[in-house]
Amino acid sequence: MGVPRKPIEPPTPEASAFLEMAMDQYGKATYNFAYRLTGNEADARDLAQDAFIRVYRAWRSFQPGTSFLSWIYRIVTNLYRDELRRRKGRFQEEIPEDNAPQEYGGQRPLAVDPIADYVAGQLSEPLSKALGQLSAEQRQVVVLADIEEYSYQEIADIMGCSIGTVRSRLHRARALLRRLVTRAQQEQK
């Protein structure tokens, strides 16, 4: 860490007020989103911190009337992606091709998985573990679609990809999550 330098300009009252309000109102959601992406609190703190610094620097580019949460989730997503690239090798995971053939050739059997058992049982732990085993992109799309309940279009905007990519990532992520949770539950028994 170098010696901190003094900024040329002190924080302006408008930017400071904007940031203060953003952290008060959306700090928790942002931090939890970061936590679900990273899977640990230390990285989530760093990610949330960097995101709010970015908010401070770019607060003028936020358009009133649009969703602040979508905006900051986009910032968090981009920062997380940059961080993964920076740490390339440490967190690199095999990401299935979105255009790869479907496992069941589009004719999936309609056998019902025992999801009701998941709900009734201790779900938090196996689900959290399973989420951590998804690729970064799959985890993002599950968090945004199933936990934050964003539409595919909103997710595509946040992640900077097409709706088709969101769709295929979500399908694969959910299928993988099911397998991982089922396996975890079988191991518990």
Partner 1 sequence: MTTHYDRDTLTDYLHGALEPDADAAVFAHLESCTSCSAVFEDEAAFGEALRTAARAEELEFPSMVKARVWDAIRHQKPSWTERLRAWGPRLAVPVAAVVAIAAYLGAPALHGLPQAGVEASYFLDEHNAAAQQNPFGPGIGPAIYTPDTQDVTSVSSAASYIDTAEAATIDDATGAVR
Interface residues with partner 1 (CB under 8 A) are: 4-11, 19, 23, 27-28, 30-32, 35-36, 41, 44-45, 48-49, 52-53, 56-57, 102, 104, 106-108, 110, 112-113, 115-116, 118-119, 123-124, 127-128, 142-143, 145-147, 149, 151-152, 163, 167, 170-171, 174-175, 177-178
Identity of the residue numbered 94: E
CB nearer partner 1, residue 20 or residue 92? 20
Which among 61, 60, 63, 49 is positioned nearest to 12, based on CA atoms? Answer: 60
Between residues 58 and 92, which has the closer beta carbon with respect to partner 1? 58
The residue count for the chain: 189
Nearer to partner 1, 161 or 175 (CB): 175
Distance CA 136, CA 173 (A): 10
Shortest CB 21 distance to partner 1, Å: 12
Tokens read off for 135: 């690729």
Nearer to partner 1, 41 or 93 (CB): 41
CA angle 64, 156, 84 (to 5 degrees): 100
Shortest distance, position 161 Cβ to partner 1, whole Å: 14
Closest approach, Cβ 69 to partner 1, in A, equals 14
Residue 9 Cβ, how far from partner 1 at the closest point, in Å? Answer: 5
Q: How far is the CB of 89 from partner 1 (least distance, A)?
A: 27
8 Å CB contact between 119 and 13: no
Distance of alpha carbon 122 from the chain centroid? 23
Q: Which residues have CB under 8 Å from 118's CB, separation 6+?
A: 126, 127, 181, 185
